[in-house]
Amino acid sequence: MTCPVCDAVSADILLELKGSPIYQHPVPVLATVPEPYTRDLRYFICKSCGHAYQDNFDAALMDKVYQSYYYTPAPEGVGATFRKEFIEFLLPHLQPNSAGAILEIGSSSGEILAQLRDLLPGTAVLGFEPSTVTSQRALANGIPTLQKFFSPATVAEAGSRFSCIISRHVIEHITVFDDFFAAIDTACADEKTLLVLETPALDVHWAAASIVPFHIEHAHVFSTHSLAKLAARYGWNLAAYRITESQNLIAVFSRVATPLDIELPVVGRSYADYFKAFREKFAAAANGRKIILWGAGSGGIKLVNYHHLEIEHLVDGNQEKKGMKFLGVQSLIEYAPECIARIQAQGRDAEYAVLIGSGFYREIGDTLRKMNWRGGIIAPYAPDFLRES
């Protein structure tokens, strides 16, 4: 295997995930989508630069999925914690040149750009967002957005230059880095332009044997070291970074900064041990109770597929998913507060444990506590899930 970041050939298998869901989001109950619904994934870890990558990434399949009528990008409204962490980290780096212009690659519904524009009056913003639904939502909210893929040609067409270019949770999907960085070059105002990337941090996910960032859409999972290495290949020096509480890496690059010296990620916990520890921890936490899976997205379905869990109800906090199905799963999706309230009205809380199949375990846990939920709460995506006990 040749590392896509540093071209080294010394790599070990990091983890194999059999039965990984292809479709990360629910579909209408009557939808007929051709199989397969799952794919076996395998990630290698490069010993030279500390980069994790799929050796059999199927770009053609992913293109088909992305173009499918039934592919919907991540729902909005649930990423508030990630966005807050990003803005808090970014602001001090932006304030000196707040009168500039900000470009976001993969700007979704424009939430980040809207916040930055409010916080930095006079700043011009532009988003690139290929998804029709989300880019239209951004436009409706008054955020200038181009419904296009980000490429050298589309950037040249847009004609503007930017003092800051941000991209959150995009680079781990990219297969041709040359095009991505060439497009960034085209968009730069000058040598002081900042490039700010957010991506899941392999450093902490591996340390905890967390499977969160490993799924079909992620060709890569970057460590701080491997992201710095990749950016340096294109002339971008790592100027500052933070690994957030949500286990994302936010990295600020500049062409003129003196690059920070970054160490390789420490060898993490073995994923085989993780699967064994998960089974034991889950069995203890569930304690024979019936399971309500809260999280009708990839995070929830991966738990069910990888750990062969039986679930009684599949629920989600997004009311729009009610009555939909997740491809490959039998139960239809219920609206979480309704399902919880119904079980409470029957006085049967104690028979159930809610398995939170989402990175937003804090918000969901808070919601359950506010509802006075007396059943169990199991949050496998909390970093301390396997550490406690």
Binding site for Zn ion (CB under 5 A): 3, 5-6, 8, 46, 48-49, 51
The answer for residues whose C-beta is within 8 angstroms of residue 375's C-beta and 6 or more apart is 289, 292, 343, 349, 350, 351, 352, 353, 354
Burial label for 59, CB within 10 Å (0-12, 13-18, 19+), is exposed
CB of 168 to Zn ion, least distance (A): 23
CB-nearer residue toward Zn ion: 218 or 302: 218
* CA end-to-end distance (rounded Å), the chain: 39
Considering the complex, what minimum distance in angstroms separates the CB of residue 48 from Zn ion?
A: 5
In 3D space, the residue among 371, 382, 367 whose CA is nearest the CA of residue 316 turns out to be: 367
Nearer to Zn ion, 221 or 301 (CB): 221
Supply the minimum distance, in Å, between the C-beta of residue 44 and Zn ion: 9
Q: By three-state DSSP, how is residue 1 classified?
A: coil
The three-class DSSP label of residue 91 is helix
Rounded CA separation 139/382 (Å): 35
In angstroms, rounded to a whole number, what is the distance separating the alpha carbons of residues 246 and 286? 25
State in angstroms the smallest separation of the CB of 49 from Zn ion: 3
Q: Say if residue 380 is preceded by a cis peptide, omega within 30 of 0.
A: no
Nearer to Zn ion, 39 or 47 (CB): 47
Q: Which is nearer to Zn ion, 47 or 362 (CB)?
A: 47
**Minimum CB distance to Zn ion, residue 254 (Å):** 23
Q: How many CB atoms lie within 10 A of CB 376?
A: 20
Nearest approach in angstroms of CB 325 to Zn ion is: 40
Q: How far is the CB of 170 from Zn ion (least distance, A)?
A: 20
User: Smaller CB distance to Zn ion: residue 55 or 245?
Assistant: 55
Nearer to Zn ion, 51 or 289 (CB): 51
From CA 175, how far away is CA 183, in angstroms rounded? 14
Closer CB to Zn ion, residue 5 or residue 296?
5
Write the Ramachandran bin of 199: left for phi over 0, alpha for psi from -120 to 50, otherwise beta.
beta
3-class DSSP state for residue 221? strand
Q: Give every CB contact of residue 217 below 8 A, 6+ residues apart in sequence.
A: 24, 62, 172, 173
Residue 130, burial from CB neighbour count under 10 angstroms (0-12, 13-18, 19+) = middle
> 18: which 2 tokens?
């059999």
Q: Which two tokens stand for residue 276?
A: 């064994």
Smallest distance, Zn ion to C-beta of residue 196, A: 23
Nearer to Zn ion, 66 or 177 (CB): 177
Nearer to Zn ion, 53 or 360 (CB): 53
Distance CA 125, CA 100 (A): 9
**Smallest distance from the beta carbon of 55 to Zn ion, in angstroms?**
13
